[in-house]
Each structure stands twice: as structure tokens, then as C-alpha cells.
Chain A
Amino acid sequence: MSHPATRPRHPRRSRGPHGARRALGLLLPTLLLAACTGTPAAPRTDAAAAATAPQLTGPLCAALPTGTDPGNPSFLAGQPVDQALRWIPTLTTFEAALRTSGVLTDLPAGTGVTVLAPSDDAFAATFSEDNWDDLMTHHTDQLRTLLKAHLISGTHPIADLTTAGTATTLDGVTVTVTRTGPTARLGDRADTVCADYQATNARIHIINAVLGPLPVTADGTGHRAH
């Protein structure tokens, strides 16, 4: 989904413009903020990375930062995996859990990792807010086990995982990985919705369901109020 900055007259893409004009608009405030306040990792358009732009697949990719948007896949390819995860806007729950639990930082230095990252929607469909807060604040061991069910040692493109047919996650469980049309299915439960993000020594595959042993506690209404 990393299209060049062309301007088709009859575009087939369903999402907005990704032209060079936007990159300029982005760069300026970034520099200004950096100058004034200090700021997090500033987005850059890295020419070298762009030359080998990751080829993402899945229906959600179009809704994520593309082209030269901040957080685009080419930029993320040069980021450490914990930073790359912060840039993917549908992973706020998963990213915060990884960070809070320290699971990623506990990996041996230099280890490649493949991240099966459930989207925020997947978490909302699985855990009630109370249950999730309880896991995050009171049950670190359960949380870590849950997260390890989403990590695989080594950097594996999704095609390699489907070819192998199974993968063993860091919680010691072996899950099946099968190709279902344009996406991959994991553990008979989750489908990839945007696969093959790259980060330094890492692959990230966004999936649409939570893996691991914990029971579903969400009631499906999503109406938790104020």
C-alpha cells in the first residue's frame, strides 16, 4: 500500500491523497515542535527505506497510515519494534499492554520477533473494560502469558508462517496458520487484517481476534458509560 505520489484521474483507492504536498505540510510543524518542546520520534521519509517499501496485505491496510503519512510502513521499517507499534493507530490496547508488562524488553537482545498484534476492536470484542483494567493492573502474570501468546521468536513473513502451517508462540502453544484467500488464519480464531509490517528485527501482523487462553468477558454492547 505504499503508492508513489501520483495523482490518478480515476482513482481506485478508497482513501485520501498521499501526495508530496502532505509530506511538506507534515515536516514543518514537526520541526517546529522539535525545536520548541522536544518531541517523540519524529516521522521522516526515509529514501532508503522507501526503496524497499514493505508490501503489506490485508483489508485494514488502507485505513492505516500510508504513502508518506506519519507512521507509514516504510518509515516503520527503520524503527525498533516497540516504537513501530506506537505508530499503528489500531494497536493502542496491545501496545500499551506490551509496554506495561515489559514482555518485549525481557526478550534477549538481538532476538528477532514476530508480533501477532490484535487490533483494538479485537480487544474490545474480547474483554470487558473492567476485566481488561483488572488484567492490566492486578494480574501481570496472566497478562504476560496472554501477550506471549502473540509473539513468535524470529522474524517471519506471513507467507513463511502459512507455508510452515504452524507456529509456536512464546507461551509454548503451537497454533495453526493457514492461508484463507488473501489473508491468513491463526489458531482457527484470528485472521490477519494487515500483515507484514516490518520493524527493526521484527515483523508485525495485525490480527482481528485475541489469541491465548483467557475467556471472553465483553458483553458485546460497547456501551460502558461515562
Chain B
Amino acid sequence: MRRQRPTLIAVSTLIAITLTTAAPTPANAAPPEQVNALTAHQADGYTTLAWQPVDGATDYQIERTPVDADNTPTGAPTIVGIWRPNRQINQHAPTFADSGYNPGDTFQWRVRARTGTTEQPYSDPVTATTTAPWGNPTTPGEQLRTGWETTHAAQYTSDTDEYAYTAAIDALSDRVRVVELGRTVQNRPINMMVIGHPTPAATPEAVAATSPVAINCNVHGNEPGDREACLIMARQLAFSTDPRITDLLSHTTVLIVPTINGDGRANNTRGNSTGQDLNRDYSLIRQPETTAYITMVRDYRPVAGYDGHEFGNSRAGDLPMLPPRHQNVAQPIFDQSQDMIEGHMYAKGAEAGWWACPYGCEGGGNVGLSEETILRNTLGLKNVTNSLLELRSSGGQTRPDEGNTANNRRRKTYSALWTFHQFLDYHRADRADILKARSEAIETQAANTGRLVFRGSRPIPAHPAPHPGDSPPPLDAPPADLILDNAPCAYKLTDAQYNGARTDGPGGVGTTVAQRIAAHGWNVITIGDEHYVPLNQPERGLIPLLLDAKGVEKLTDGERVYPTLTGRRNGPLTVTGFTCADDATINGPVTVRAGAALVTTATTISGPLTATGAAGILLADSTVNGPVRIATTTDAISIIDATIAGPVDLSGNTTGTDAPVLAGTTIRGPLRCTGNNPAPHNLGIANTVHGPRTTQCAAL
């Protein structure tokens, strides 16, 4: 899955040398220490400067001078950038994304090498007019501008401006629908733009079928750079006639949440209005803002995501990124996320001149750890390929012209805009791999195999030299006391644990565990006054973090329930109560009584499986040699990565908010689904059915 890393030999360098030696005017030849072949390529909010490397150069200085239409300087030349070898993976083709100017102005650039601290001659200058803010000022829709753009970055777009701007986009573009996901503690709307071409799919379930991507733009109120990029990108997606944009939107749905933390944004605080850091709350969802986002993930099922932040280390790269590292995240999701960062962003960053790098690059410190409360890890545990994005909050040594606040804000925002566009391109190009990783991850999770880790990260080795950054994030291995080798089958909660009042929300009022589990979308089986949360589910890695006594930031201490049925069993089996079969072989018919539940992993049943009025049936990584008939189930149905030799009949099941899941399963026989409420779905993982599929299951 990992891309071959680019091994660009400097072909262009060879060509340049050839041309130089062929040149007939050696008397005027540039000294070899002088940078030559400087080019300036314009993009939204930045200019990519590229040049031929100079032998022996330690670094390069990039100089920018404002000029007028006659090429006359209107301001002083300023060193705006330092290119160092750790910026990019292919150092034979140096590039630098210059940003932090007023888009649309005209500049002259020069670049010079330094050998040690000795400054070599400047290159010949290149002059160009930069790209003005996107959108024709006379075309309806395109002419919209954010408050941030209008004020030349002196002010961030306010809350009311954001609502007006997104409403205007909604009104003027068929491609955009603005939905309100919820409200903040102080009752500000949390909006999401749902963007598709020619129109976005009509319902969350229909959007989910398009394998959508989600960008969370602003969780920390005092880190607003990504949010401004999101608002600009929304306008581009809504109105651009660029074939690339319409192609992207024809193949997926883009979900943009500009501001989940509107209260914190308005007050310029990191946390929400209660002081809660929302990026430490995505698993616990104590706050309405995080609950809104997690419920959105449940309903719209994004397959890939980005989470926008800013970072105070001025020595780090332009764009530190980090995948979901928690060790309970399925390997394919970690690998795919790393592929997105190191395979795609590093390579494209080296083309555009942006320095994407691992989180800890250049002294990142003790950051980038495994807390599942952080969105990147929560999403990984929900089988979403994703990355955190940092915008380095100050210019630092490599961008010395950012003492000007507006310049600094522009560099941050336009580097985020580049990243988000690259994210969409990655999803477009690697969608099949992303979906394969997701399928494998869900099947791996539902199989409920392997140890559970309550805190601890997968290692991220340093990127091989040449590499963008010097130091990878800290190892962060799990301590022994936070590892559980023998995973239970399920957690059992008392009614007090499940439905009891809580005090961990705003104003000392918390939603119940039942409500939070529902927001995560987990199957729960209730028998009598006990509530079982089986682990053979897609979010198996997240469940213990909230329900096990070992959980570091948990909701409650659930009781571990271990399998009651293992090994070989001959003869008919009647299931009463909560029965968990793991690594079992059952030879004979299985009947699940009304109000009872059957949970299986790595189990083979030879004989029919019949359940009428059961509380729940959850089969994963299992085989049934015989017909399966499940009717009038009350709580939960999930069949993931199973093989069923015989007809399957799901009828009259009423499982509340938990739609029956039938995913990644092979059925040798007909599949019939009638009268189920809600209707079954497949989580985006197709089933193989050797027989007719009828009514509610026709599309599964």
C-alpha cells in the first residue's frame, strides 16, 4: 500500500548543465554559485518558487520585492524565506511556497544560495502578479468573499459573517446544502456544508453511500487559520467550473464543518464556553459540540478526514501532520493514513514548496500521543483514514517576514487551503485503497481478536533521509498495565450505569451512557435490566476505552463478559440469556429464544440458525452451514465477514436506532429482507450473494 518513495534524479539539472556547457558566451556565464533557472508558479494564495540547486549550498534565501506594473519597486526587498534541506524529500529539485502577501499584488523574487554563512550572488529576478482571491468579482456566487478576505486578514471571519456567507453559498449553489448538526453550549449553530455535484445526495444514508470526506476546520477557538481556508474552499467547490472540481464532486461528497467550537472562536479561547478542550472529548462526548460531530460521523460515515489546528513550535515544518496512532486503531487504517501523509502530502508538498512533515519535526516535543479523546484517534478507531493538520503558528527562522500579523495569517490559511485540496485529490485517486483499508479494518475489528491497549501509540519511524524533518513523534509505547491480552466478548452494564444520571456535561448535567453509546452508533443488547455491548463490532477498539475499568478516560466500569461457548459442541442448541460463542464449532441446529442474544466470533454452526423475537444476533468472522432466519429482533442485528451456506431471511426486525448491519458476508443462497425497521445496510462493504436479493436487501 505504501507508495514507492520518489527517487527523482535531477534530470532537469543534467539538462541545465548540458545547456550551460553548450552556451556560446562563457565570458558572461553566471558563476556556478549563482542560482539559475528560477521560476515562479502562481496558485491560490501562494507562489511556488523553483530553481536549480547549487553545488555545496547550505541553504537558500528567498527575497521578495513589491513592484508596480512598470516593475518599479514599491517597497523594500525583504528576505521572506529560508530553504533548508530538510524541507522536502527530493532535495535535487528545491521548491519554496512563498505566501503571506496580499493576493493579487505583483512581486519580484530572487533566490541566492549560502555556503556556510557566505551569501552567493542572487539569481536573475522573476516578476509575476500573484493570483487574486478566487472567484470572478462579477459572477454571482463566485463574487462572495469572507470577512477575512475583505479585511485583508486584519479580522477573522466572525460567527455571523460565517452564517451569512455559508447561507449565501447555499442559496446560490445547487451543489451545496448547509445542515445544522447541533448547537453549542451558548446556542450557536454548528453547521456543515454538504457538497456534491450536480447536487449533494439527499439524506445522510445516501451521502454515506458516496464514501464522503470530512474536514473539521476549527475545534480550538484560538486556532482559526484552517477555518478561513475551509470557507474559501467551500466557495471554490460550490462555484468552480474547473473540471477537476466537478470531477471530484461527482465522485464523492465533501463535508465541511467550519466551526464546531463557535463559542470558543468568538472568545478566542482554546476550549468551549465551559473551558473544555473539545479535542479531548471526542470519545467521551460530554459536550454538545463533540456530540454533534460524532453523531455526524455515525450518520454520514465519512471514509477519510482532516482535522485542522495550529501549532506553537516555530521551528517545525509548515504543515506538521499526524495519523491515528492509537494501537487499537486497525493496522490498515494506520497504514492508509500514513500513506496519505508520507506517500501523498510529502511528495506533493515537495512539488508545491510546502513543508509537510511528521508531527515532531524539528523539536516537536512530547506531542502526538495516543489519547483516544483526540479526533484523529477517535476517527481512526471508527475506521476513518485521517490526519491531524497543524499550521505552524509563527513564521520562525524559515519564514522571517511573518512579524506582520496579516502575512502570518495568510501563510497559515493558504497552506491549509493547499492541504485540503490535496486531501480531496488523494481521496479521488486512492479511493479504492481507502475503501479496502476500511473494509479490512472493520472486518478485523469485528473479529475481536488480539490484545486491547488502553493507552499507547504505534511507532512512527523517522522518514528516511532525505526527509522532511529530523525527529519523529515520541515512541509512546503502551505501559504493561494498560494492555489487556485477553479481550472480553462484551461489556455488561447495569441499568444504573447505562441509564443513570450523569454530571460530566456543561453545567453539571451530562447525557447518559446510553445516549453517548447511541451517538457512537454501537449495538447494545438489553436482557432484563442488563445491557450488553458486544465487541464484535466495527468500533471494537474504542468500546473498551470507554467501558473497561482499565480505561484511562472512561464512561463507566463495565463488567467484562467472556465467551460461554468454545470448542466443539454436538446436538441442538437453544440459546437463552446472553450467549457468547468464540472459536466454537456447533454441530446442530441453533435456536435463539425470544429475549435472548447470540454473539459469535470465529465460530462455525452446522445447521439452521433461527431466532424469533431475540434481543440481538451479532455474528462476525463466523460460518453458518444452513439457513439463517432472524425475525422480530428487538435490539441489534449485525452480520459481518460471515459465510452462510443457505438462504438468509431477515424480517420484521425492529431494532430502534441501530439499523441491522450485513457487511462483507458471503451468502450461498437467496437474501430476503422484509418489514425491517430500520432497513438493513452494509456500512459500504459489499456482500457476495449467490442468489436473488429482494426488497430491503436488494442493494446490499
B404 CB within 8 Å of chain A: yes
Q: A16-B105, A64-B405, A222-B313 in contact; A71/B271 too (CB < 8 A)?
A: no
Which of B309, B388, B393, B404 gathers most chain A CB within 10 Å? B404
Q: Which of B344-368 contact A (CB under 8 A)?
A: 359, 364-365, 367-368
A145 CB within 8 Å of chain B: no
Mask for A130-168, Cβ within 8 A of B = 1, else 0?
A: 101110111000000000000000000000000000000
A93 CB within 8 Å of chain B: yes
Q: Which of these binds chain B: A27-35, A47-55, A107-115?
A: A27-35
Q: Which of B139-154 contact A (CB under 8 A)?
A: 143-145, 147, 149-154
Q: Which of these binds chain B: A6-14, A175-183, A207-215?
A: A6-14
Interchain CB contact (< 8 A) of B105 among A17, A33, A95: A17
Q: Which of A83-103 contact B (CB under 8 A)?
A: 86-90, 92-93, 95-97, 99-100
B88 CB within 8 Å of chain A: no
Interchain CB contact (< 8 A) of A63 among B76, B137, B404: B404
Could you tell me if A70 and B75 are in contact, using CB atoms closer than 8 angstroms?
Answer: no
Closest chain-B Cβ to A140's Cβ sits at a distance in Å of 12
Q: Which of these binds chain A: B160-168, B207-215, B451-459?
A: B160-168
**What is the CA–CA distance of A95 and B160 in the complex, to the nearest angstrom?**
17
A26 CB within 8 Å of chain B: yes
In the complex, residue of chain B having the shortest beta-carbon distance to the beta carbon of A69: B152
Interchain CB contact (< 8 A) of A16 among B66, B274, B311: B66
Could you tell me if B143 and A87 are in contact, using CB atoms closer than 8 angstroms?
Answer: no
Closest chain-A Cβ to B227's Cβ sits at a distance in Å of 14
Interchain CB contact (< 8 A) of B68 among A19, A33, A38: A19
What B residues does A136 contact at CB under 8 A?
Answer: 267, 269, 275
Could you tell me if A7 and B72 are in contact, using CB atoms closer than 8 angstroms?
Answer: yes
Could you tell me if B74 and A19 are in contact, using CB atoms closer than 8 angstroms?
Answer: yes
Could you tell me if B376 and A28 are in contact, using CB atoms closer than 8 angstroms?
Answer: no
Could you tell me if B406 and A29 are in contact, using CB atoms closer than 8 angstroms?
Answer: no
A78 CB within 8 Å of chain B: no
**What is the CA–CA distance of A132 and B220 in the complex, to the nearest angstrom?**
13
Which of A9, A99, A222 gathers most chain B CB within 10 Å? A222
What A residues does B549 contact at CB under 8 A?
Answer: none
Q: Which of A175-206 contact B (CB under 8 A)?
A: none
B331 CB within 8 Å of chain A: no
Q: A22-B105, A37-B144, A89-B409 in contact; A129/B270 too (CB < 8 A)?
A: yes
Could you tell me if B147 and A16 are in contact, using CB atoms closer than 8 angstroms?
Answer: no
B155 CB within 8 Å of chain A: yes
Could you tell me if B155 and A9 are in contact, using CB atoms closer than 8 angstroms?
Answer: no
What A residues does B73 contact at CB under 8 A?
Answer: 9, 11
User: In terms of DSSP, what is the predominant structure of the interface of chain B?
Assistant: loop
What B residues does A11 contact at CB under 8 A?
Answer: 73-76
Interchain CB contact (< 8 A) of A15 among B147, B154, B158, B404: B404
Could you tell me if A225 and B72 are in contact, using CB atoms closer than 8 angstroms?
Answer: no
What B residues does A129 contact at CB under 8 A?
Answer: 222, 270
Could you tell me if A13 and B75 are in contact, using CB atoms closer than 8 angstroms?
Answer: yes
Could you tell me if A133 and B365 are in contact, using CB atoms closer than 8 angstroms?
Answer: no
Could you tell me if B274 and A37 are in contact, using CB atoms closer than 8 angstroms?
Answer: no
Could you tell me if A71 and B75 are in contact, using CB atoms closer than 8 angstroms?
Answer: no
**What is the CA–CA distance of A141 and B279 in the complex, to the nearest angstrom?**
27
Mask for B51-86, Cβ within 8 A of A = 1, else 0?
A: 000000000000000101000111110100000000
Could you tell me if A96 and B267 are in contact, using CB atoms closer than 8 angstroms?
Answer: yes
Interchain CB contact (< 8 A) of B75 among A16, A40, A64: A16
Q: A40-B155, A70-B154 in contact; A100/B75 too (CB < 8 A)?
A: no
Mask for A68-82, Cβ within 8 A of B = 1, else 0?
A: 011100000000000
**What is the CA–CA distance of A32 and B152 in the complex, to the nearest angstrom?**
15
Could you tell me if B102 and A224 are in contact, using CB atoms closer than 8 angstroms?
Answer: no
A43 CB within 8 Å of chain B: yes
What B residues does A29 contact at CB under 8 A?
Answer: 133, 137, 143, 145, 149-150
Could you tell me if A39 and B313 are in contact, using CB atoms closer than 8 angstroms?
Answer: no
Interchain CB contact (< 8 A) of B268 among A17, A70, A92: A92
B689 CB within 8 Å of chain A: no
What A residues does B167 contact at CB under 8 A?
Answer: 37
What A residues does B154 contact at CB under 8 A?
Answer: 65, 69-71, 87-89
Q: A11-B75, A36-B144 in contact; A89/B155 too (CB < 8 A)?
A: yes
Q: A11-B74, A11-B76, A14-B78 in contact; A39/B161 too (CB < 8 A)?
A: yes
What B residues does A69 contact at CB under 8 A?
Answer: 152, 154
Q: A13-B75, A65-B152 in contact; A224/B312 too (CB < 8 A)?
A: yes
Could you tell me if A93 and B270 are in contact, using CB atoms closer than 8 angstroms?
Answer: no
Closest chain-A Cβ to B407's Cβ sits at a distance in Å of 8
Q: A7-B68, A38-B164 in contact; A132/B75 too (CB < 8 A)?
A: no
Closest chain-A Cβ to B375's Cβ sits at a distance in Å of 8
Q: How many residues of A contact B (CB 8 A)?
A: 60
What A residues does B561 contact at CB under 8 A?
Answer: none
In the complex, residue of chain B having the shortest beta-carbon distance to the beta carbon of A70: B151
Closest chain-B Cβ to A7's Cβ sits at a distance in Å of 5
Interchain CB contact (< 8 A) of B168 among A12, A36, A40: A36
What B residues does A37 contact at CB under 8 A?
Answer: 144, 161, 164-165, 167-168
What B residues does A226 contact at CB under 8 A?
Answer: 279, 307, 309, 311, 322, 367-368, 374, 376, 388, 390
Interchain CB contact (< 8 A) of B76 among A14, A70, A93: A14
What A residues does B273 contact at CB under 8 A?
Answer: 137
Interchain CB contact (< 8 A) of A86 among B150, B155, B270: B155
Mask for B308-334, Cβ within 8 A of A = 1, else 0?
A: 010111100000001000000000000
Closest chain-B Cβ to A45's Cβ sits at a distance in Å of 13
Interchain CB contact (< 8 A) of A87 among B137, B155, B267, B313: B155
Mask for B83-113, Cβ within 8 A of A = 1, else 0?
A: 0000000000000000001101100000000
Interchain CB contact (< 8 A) of A65 among B133, B158, B406: B406
Could you tell me if A223 and B144 are in contact, using CB atoms closer than 8 angstroms?
Answer: no
Could you tell me if B269 and A133 are in contact, using CB atoms closer than 8 angstroms?
Answer: yes
Mask for B527-552, Cβ within 8 A of A = 1, else 0?
A: 00000000000000000000000000
Mask for B444-472, Cβ within 8 A of A = 1, else 0?
A: 00000000000000000000000000000
A105 CB within 8 Å of chain B: no
Interchain CB contact (< 8 A) of B275 among A88, A133, A224: A133
Q: A30-B150, A38-B164, A96-B267 in contact; A222/B406 too (CB < 8 A)?
A: no
Which of A30, A42, A95 gathers most chain B CB within 10 Å? A30
Could you tell me if B403 and A133 are in contact, using CB atoms closer than 8 angstroms?
Answer: no
What B residues does A19 contact at CB under 8 A?
Answer: 68, 74
Closest chain-A Cβ to B149's Cβ sits at a distance in Å of 7
Closest chain-A Cβ to B220's Cβ sits at a distance in Å of 8
What A residues does B594 contact at CB under 8 A?
Answer: none
Interchain CB contact (< 8 A) of B152 among A17, A70, A88, A222: A70
B43 CB within 8 Å of chain A: no
**What is the CA–CA distance of A224 and B313 in the complex, to the nearest angstrom?**
9
Closest chain-A Cβ to B548's Cβ sits at a distance in Å of 25
**What is the CA–CA distance of A29 and B146 in the complex, to the nearest angstrom?**
9
In the complex, residue of chain B having the shortest beta-carbon distance to the beta carbon of A225: B367
Interchain CB contact (< 8 A) of B274 among A33, A87, A137: A137
What A residues does B275 contact at CB under 8 A?
Answer: 133-134, 136-138
Could you tell me if B144 and A39 are in contact, using CB atoms closer than 8 angstroms?
Answer: no
What B residues does A92 contact at CB under 8 A?
Answer: 156, 222, 268
Interchain CB contact (< 8 A) of A223 among B78, B101, B365: B365
Could you tell me if B313 and A223 are in contact, using CB atoms closer than 8 angstroms?
Answer: yes
19 contacts between A and B (CB under 8 A): A9-B73, A14-B78, A29-B150, A32-B143, A33-B145, A39-B147, A62-B404, A63-B404, A65-B406, A70-B154, A89-B406, A129-B270, A132-B270, A137-B275, A221-B313, A222-B314, A223-B367, A225-B311, A226-B388
10 tightest CB-CB pairs across the interface, nearest first? Answer: A225-B367, A222-B312, A37-B164, A96-B268, A137-B275, A17-B74, A89-B405, A71-B154, A63-B404, A29-B145
With contacts A25-B132, A96-B266, A129-B270 known, what are 10 further pairs, Cβ within 8 A?
A9-B72, A22-B105, A32-B137, A70-B151, A71-B152, A89-B405, A133-B275, A137-B271, A137-B273, A223-B311
